[in-house]
Structure 1
């Protein structure tokens, strides 16, 4: 199903991880701390973020 949706949107090389990265980047641009970003992403440790 994801491949079908992705193809229909013209995003041949787009993956779920790309959305996580975009979310983290947007939060950082808005001034979120690493702890806040890690919490949103579900990271257990700031070292992962």
Structure 2
């Protein structure tokens, strides 16, 4: 989805914004590491 890219870039560039949105101190972002992990289901081969 296109919105995934927008949010990924936003939170990667400004991690403190996430903490402001959830009503936490932006200083908590200093210990925060943002990563986008893709998980795929394994294919069943018969």
Q: Which of the two has greater helix per residue? A: 1
Rg: which structure is higher? Answer: 2
Of structures 1 and 2, the one scoring higher in RCO (CA 8 A, sep 6+) is 2
TM (norm. structure 1) is 0.30
TM (norm. structure 2) is 0.31
